[in-house]
Structure 1
């Protein structure tokens, strides 16, 4: 769907085109209007438009100058120029600026419809080409390093199913396959030595050394993780180079060369992943845990990730609990269905422990409870509420303060889903109330200022909303488009004035916002089958 801006210093021309063209048939979603080139520039500053339909001869800035100014902002906007003068100079400028069409006024509806349809068809074909498989492949090639890093980060965070990983590995030309032996390496790049302050450049230098030392022996895949650590996944190129000893030797050499020549310390923990990609997130977490528990804030150390040595005496809460996206993130973003799916995954994992006859430690339930409650607090405070207000329990604080919630999996599960439901209901009510207020403001403004500028841009400016958002929300709530509502109110006001006043037809037209009396008569007759005077005389 396209967006069009109509520009002419004759309001009647703008109104006639904006209100009479079969826009849905032309695949036009939004129609913006402007009565001068300066006003048109203000529209373009605020929102994107695909097509500008503009008169050439206008006071102040003319249509050619407008076209040049918009071209500087966006090279993709297309132009249809209207003029009452078949002058060679205008035609030459239109060709120079690659106008899509050049029409003489008064333009017939059929000619304008055909011009717009031809242009939207051409633009649609262009965008289909941009989004085609060939263009997508070119995009992948152009952004390969970034896309590879993003993929690795998503695997480490457990965001992707194995089948999705397989597909993306091939697309991104990564030499890793299901079941490969791989070695995740977590690297903390420590503060530079005295006098070396450009950290970003130094990190590039660190990676250059890694490529020189490690890549001849191992496939190398890297990213930055959520902690800001450098994460590398190594895959030995030959069987002879496989094994922790070979990896340790390469990492030790790299660490030494970086310290000696780049003057930076590296703290390194490496692990082993026997079945890529399934085991990679677990091996990565073990390496991060080892870095935290065995290296701490010391620097320049190299060690292997501990598994048995790092075994916890208290089982971790469901592993999905802290895996991105977090409950807090989902609540804050208003992604309620995704939040319920997240909670379901958490409790499915907890309940699987009971099915395996393993006791669910009280600390596990406490972590889940406090994580969900903290997300509720964050959501409430971000919305200027107390948590009791957000959860609709101001008269029953025990809803979220009861210690019993942490004593039973079933009670905790019921409470977590109920909290999610209450927040989502509160959010939906807030949206509905805000939209009802917005609709009321718009309708009141139209009734009071009917004889003035009540264009979509003016209405949007009045309520400080984006015009496209306003237009879509209005129709979503009322079932009627803003243009249809405005036209209906004008005609209703016209009928009332025809019946109850002695105002002349042109005076009525002015009072309801029609600048051109002939156009008002045309619109009225189309709606009622008779002219305004004939309607009054009945």
Structure 2
């Protein structure tokens, strides 16, 4: 979903345009701002893809706003509303790429056409067909492979070598080994049909090259594929940006959150895969990379919902440290089993398990040393995940490490398979419970803060999810849109206050968050079929 912000110091124009575009099926989330400064505050809080703005406004005009947009969201498209007398403004605006202007007297069709054109430009930018072709061409290049191998070694090392600058230089890694770094972890979820290893590798590389194209606007970054087939991005601010360091990383965090949403959208539309993103909220030294990577994987597992379209920023320094022993398994194939279990790829897990356990079905006894070793290796891996996910009551472990209780090896491996399937169920149930808990917390906050700002951007700050994922998660859990739930809560409270008869109608509207009496009356009538005054009269007379 793309986001459009409408900016005009005349409230009637802003609200009118919001209504018009809100009724159109353009795939746009609409935001409103009544001044350049208010627009700037929103731009600092979330990604905006299209800005529709008056060019002449007091305090901060459209051109000054455009400069802020260019610094914060380089991919954003701008449509200016102008008058005939604004020639000097227009002349400056049309020199900038991605900017259109529409005369105010040209009417709505011309304006709608300009917005559609901006939307198409955005979609064209996000097409990844050329990037897929590039990824195929670069798949076997020494540079790509060498960089990936090096960082896979680095993130799985017990201790990172302090002398990494020389390695970076030799491998043409653009990052600075002397400066702190941010880490982002992207877990790609497959479509319903299982994908081969080469399919997943090709998809991951396409995402890697797309992300590098978008992230280079404001960062120095490198994406690599880890041993689970997930993507890791190592990111530093663009060195030419001469800003206060704390401010730089805070602004960078918002830029990354919005840019990764665009990457997720491209993945869904062009590659037909979803991706959950976990992004470190603070910088750290290279020596801490292995620990912070393991923490990012652990945090991503304990997420609310399925994670698709999720971008969560997490203070990894404060996250609980994972037990590194549980991330190291005895056999390569069991490593792959663990990766499938970790990522929730049930069909691939069961297919590989069937290949590994196939000989057990032909062995009638329990004395095959290889199969005995294999049994305990898989059992130990399952035990590790049962403990980590605190699933011992749901799964049961009483006989997991007791091969002798099974009559045959075939029976023993069927028991392991059943245990694994229970673990997959526990995983899905845990995601659903955490999602329900998050939404319950959100609903309580809404109920207690009906008079405050309850915009999607504000609520996403409260829950620490990006707006689009929060909206999707709420609809999944409650079956209605978040905005509808908020209006329903406000109308419920309004009815209660109107029944009491203690406050004027305008006071009731203000008390539940409506700025003007007209807005309150309009929304109340839309929901109930009667005006607030008519409702009060009916209740009191009855």
Q: TM-score, normalised by structure 1?
A: 0.57
* 2:400 alignment partner in structure 1: 400
CA offsets per residue over residues 336-368 of structure 1, 9 Å max, x none?
Answer: 3332232223223554xx39x9x9863322332
* 2:419 alignment partner in structure 1: 419
Q: Tell me which of 120, 141, 159 is aligned to 1:145.
A: 141
Find out whether 1:335 has 2:345 as its counterpart: yes
Shift of 1:498: 3.4
Residues 332 and 12 (structure 1 numbering): CA distance in 2 closer, same or farther, change over 3 Å? farther
Shift of 1:480: 0.7
Secondary structure (helix, strand or coil) at the match of 1:462 reads helix
* 1:367 alignment partner in structure 2: 373
* 1:119 alignment partner in structure 2: 118
Residues 474 and 80 (structure 1 numbering): CA distance in 2 closer, same or farther, change over 3 Å? same
Matches within 5 A, 1:134-283: 136-138=132-134, 140-141=136-137, 145=141, 149=145, 198=166
Residues 138 and 453 (structure 1 numbering): CA distance in 2 closer, same or farther, change over 3 Å? same
* 1:230 alignment partner in structure 2: none
Residues 419 and 4 (structure 1 numbering): CA distance in 2 closer, same or farther, change over 3 Å? farther
Secondary structure (helix, strand or coil) at the match of 1:422 reads helix
Residues 412 and 53 (structure 1 numbering): CA distance in 2 closer, same or farther, change over 3 Å? farther
Secondary structure (helix, strand or coil) at the match of 1:25 reads coil
Shift of 1:200: 6.7
Secondary structure (helix, strand or coil) at the match of 1:22 reads helix
Residues 203 and 93 (structure 1 numbering): CA distance in 2 closer, same or farther, change over 3 Å? closer
What is the count of residue pairs matched by the alignment? 371
Find out whether 1:131 has 2:128 as its counterpart: yes
Find out whether 1:27 has 2:27 as its counterpart: yes
Residues 115 and 453 (structure 1 numbering): CA distance in 2 closer, same or farther, change over 3 Å? same
Matches within 5 A, 1:480-495: 480-495=480-495
Matches within 5 A, 1:439-454: 439-454=439-454
User: Does the aligned pair in 2 maintain the 1:328–1:372 contact within 8 Å?
Assistant: no
User: Does the aligned pair in 2 maintain the 1:8–1:14 contact within 8 Å?
Assistant: yes
* 1:388 alignment partner in structure 2: 392
User: Does the aligned pair in 2 maintain the 1:84–1:104 contact within 8 Å?
Assistant: yes
User: Does the aligned pair in 2 maintain the 1:5–1:34 contact within 8 Å?
Assistant: yes
Residues 20 and 455 (structure 1 numbering): CA distance in 2 closer, same or farther, change over 3 Å? farther
1-side partners of 2:109 and 2:18: how far apart? Answer: 15
Find out whether 1:458 has 2:458 as its counterpart: yes
* 1:69 alignment partner in structure 2: 68
2-side partners of 1:499 and 1:25: how far apart? Answer: 38
2-side partners of 1:474 and 1:362: how far apart? Answer: 52
Matches within 5 A, 1:495-506: 495-506=495-506
2-side partners of 1:405 and 1:118: how far apart? Answer: 69
Shift of 1:501: 2.5
Shift of 1:483: 1.4
CA offsets per residue over residues 162-181 of structure 1, 9 Å max, x none?
Answer: xxxxxxxxxxxxxxxxxxxx
User: Does the aligned pair in 1 maintain the 2:45–2:457 contact within 8 Å?
Assistant: no
Residues 418 and 139 (structure 1 numbering): CA distance in 2 closer, same or farther, change over 3 Å? closer
Secondary structure (helix, strand or coil) at the match of 2:498 reads helix
* 2:93 alignment partner in structure 1: 94
CA offsets per residue over residues 200-249 of structure 1, 9 Å max, x none?
Answer: 77789xxxxxxxxxxxxxxxxxxx9999xxxxxxxxxxxxxxxxxxxxxx
Tell which deviates more after alignment, 508-517 or 77-86.
77-86
User: Does the aligned pair in 1 maintain the 2:48–2:73 contact within 8 Å?
Assistant: no
Shift of 1:489: 2.4
- CA RMSD, aligned part only? 4.4
Tell me, which stretches of 5 or more residues in structure 1 are unaligned? 154-196, 205-223, 228-319
User: Does the aligned pair in 1 maintain the 2:8–2:53 contact within 8 Å?
Assistant: yes
2-side partners of 1:85 and 1:522: how far apart? Answer: 35
User: Does the aligned pair in 1 maintain the 2:4–2:51 contact within 8 Å?
Assistant: yes
2-side partners of 1:442 and 1:85: how far apart? Answer: 47
User: Does the aligned pair in 2 maintain the 1:343–1:416 contact within 8 Å?
Assistant: no
Q: Tell me which of 320, 336, 357 is aligned to 1:347.
A: 357
2-side partners of 1:73 and 1:379: how far apart? Answer: 41
* 1:304 alignment partner in structure 2: none
Shift of 1:107: 11
* 2:312 alignment partner in structure 1: none
1-side partners of 2:66 and 2:501: how far apart? Answer: 45
CA offsets per residue over residues 145-169 of structure 1, 9 Å max, x none?
Answer: 169959x99xxxxxxxxxxxxxxxx
Shift of 1:46: 5.5
Residues 504 and 43 (structure 1 numbering): CA distance in 2 closer, same or farther, change over 3 Å? same
User: Does the aligned pair in 2 maintain the 1:7–1:40 contact within 8 Å?
Assistant: yes
Shift of 1:122: 4.2
Shift of 1:520: 3.2
- Structure showing greater Rg: 1
Shift of 1:530: 4.6
* 1:517 alignment partner in structure 2: 517
